[in-house]
Structure 1
């Protein structure tokens, strides 16, 4: 039986985000969920695959004013995307 090691409760959230990576460039993706510790980014076609430990800049899109750009670290990868943790965590 696997125990859930999550520190923060996740909330479903479907938002568009721009993700910028130094080597991979940038892409526009959807989120699946968010918590106080981070966010999961869905990558439908596998075209944007950062490695665990990589640093990215993420910005929510489609708001009335530009959202802040946040520095995040890739902490988890799966077949449908990757999990990010806020860099100051």
Structure 2
């Protein structure tokens, strides 16, 4: 036995009342490293978020909208929403 994994005594529902667990009872293949469900960006801490990847079409639509409208796009608009707004801008400008 090593000093890094001491024997742990836990209460059990069997007749003995307790069960002793030690390093020989631990199977690394059967146990995965627990990851906090609130660690969204994978840095080991709760919270955080990853930037969504904007695909090439969305980037092009955002640039086109900014050019036609003369103002920045709303970041929450998806490709379908941008296409509809661009079509409206083109119609208003007679393009």
TM-score > 0.5 by shorter chain: no
Greater relative contact order: 1 or 2 (C-alpha under 8 angstroms, separation 6 or more)? 1
| Superposition TM-score, scaled by structure 1 size | 0.18
TM-score, scaled relative to structure 2:
0.17
Structure number with bigger Rg: 2
